[in-house]
Structure 1
């Protein structure tokens, strides 16, 4: 299927209505990019908003088909502003599979952004790291494993996912995150964290970081012909025996904000 055929198959009236809502609320007919801010990094948007007097905002849950995020560190808010020289839709949270919602709710933000005209998507999240890295490190997603037990697609929607993560955008963020800054990311459904046995199994299969979001969004963005970059913050050391909790994840994500900000801006500014 071509991106145009995927658009016909995936976008519905609610997606287009949400895009029209954004256009009316912002006075901007089209956006260039979508940035989804994951756990603990929503404050990044405040700095961008302060630098742009034309910025506007609203509630995600006011957009048709979009649910209010319920996870810790996620906010029911969107911003429209200039970042990296592009008119960007920034969301301060997302909906996860583990919230028990329909799968379409998980990818609604990407579909709405596509209907609003975006050409690139930057997805951020927090991860559990299976290899030796430090809390607060930022890695670019170079490949992924969908271990959720589900797909964002139904029917004869046969997508080749091998080029999901855009090479040019990965190169741009690589200048920020460094030579060891790319990783294979696996999405699990959650909400429980993985056991040590699961950690060993995943690491042996080549997975380096794990989380509970992002892959379904990336697959839909890829299907719609959008360029996709993924940035993941090391928020718990899954290779260690220290206990994991939501507060630890949010604190580690907070330490990564400046690096993450620079990497997002690099992905947006890239040609």
Structure 2
């Protein structure tokens, strides 16, 4: 993304292109699928249109295994239109914070007022085995980056909507809550960094979501965050970390994740 480009104007341009390509007048909500989530969303809902991310202004094809590369428009049982983003840009790709949140800003410019952000992450709580979905109650941004520039003062007191968390528990009453700590990546966290995250109050660690949440709240969107615990965080189990286990945890969790996503589509 050209740093001289107005990111909000670019999002508006992308939103117009998205609506035209999907054949919809506006979006009501959006869901961003993180690592391990794409398989659970396959064949989900009544698809009314689909477009490749790389065909929209300001987007690039995802570079991370386990992420798709498109946007699907789904019509919910209540008639709402939900955009399902099967890929995202990460800060460690080097394209900057504006590129990371471009999908969120595009969804907001297209009319979406509710946003569901999902991710795959490491868990600090031994009770959360691989394949456990956890609602985000809050986050800690340790990336040293922000999508905001200038005097844009955004209240993050309830960054993750309590009402949407309650709504999610009507779909899956066993959902627990945690605090997500975003690191820059792409290296996994060291055991010392994981201990630091825990000392700060974190219970989940990963490389996405927090910057997108900030941009969404700036746009006035309600945010629901859901982490899929794909592995114990570094130093918690004594085992080395690798991306293959992230994908495998997603595969094993497909039934519960599919049920959760399907239920959310009915109530969003």
| Paired residues of 1:145 and 1:184 also in contact (CA < 8 A) | yes
Give the 4+ runs in structure 1 shifted more than 6 A.
none
1:55 partner SS? strand
Per-residue CA deviations over 1:8-67 (Å, capped at 9, x if unaligned) read: xx863321221111221122110111100011221233221xx42x52111101111112
Say whether 1:256 aligns with 2:240.
no
Quote how far apart the aligned CAs of 1:177 are.
4.5
Pick the aligned partner of 2:50 from 57, 72, 75.
Answer: 57
Per-residue CA deviations over 1:64-115 (Å, capped at 9, x if unaligned) read: 1112111111121111112463211101110000111121100000111011
5 Å matches for 1:1-271? 12-48=8-44, 51-52=45-46, 54-83=47-76, 85=78, 86-132=80-126, 133-179=128-174, 181-238=176-233, 239-270=236-267
1:68 partner SS? coil
Distance 1:82 1:137 in 2: 27
Quote how far apart the aligned CAs of 1:237 are.
0.6
| Paired residues of 2:135 and 2:176 also in contact (CA < 8 A) | yes
TM-score by length of 2: 0.91
Gaps of 5+ in 1: 1-9
Distance 2:158 2:224 in 1: 11
Per-residue CA deviations over 1:214-250 (Å, capped at 9, x if unaligned) read: 1111111111111110110001111211111000011
Residues 45 and 192 from structure 1, CA distance in 2 versus in 1: closer, same or farther, beyond 3 angstroms? same
Gaps of 5+ in 2: 1-5
| Paired residues of 1:33 and 1:268 also in contact (CA < 8 A) | no
Distance 1:200 1:177 in 2: 30
Distance 1:84 1:152 in 2: 34
Residues 84 and 142 from structure 1, CA distance in 2 versus in 1: closer, same or farther, beyond 3 angstroms? farther
The Cα RMSD (Å) is 1.7
Moved more, 24-33 or 119-128: 24-33
1:47 partner SS? coil
Residues 44 and 92 from structure 1, CA distance in 2 versus in 1: closer, same or farther, beyond 3 angstroms? same
Per-residue CA deviations over 1:169-202 (Å, capped at 9, x if unaligned) read: 1011124444561111111110011111111221
Corresponding residue for residue 3 of structure 2: none
Distance 2:154 2:77 in 1: 30
Distance 2:77 2:91 in 1: 30
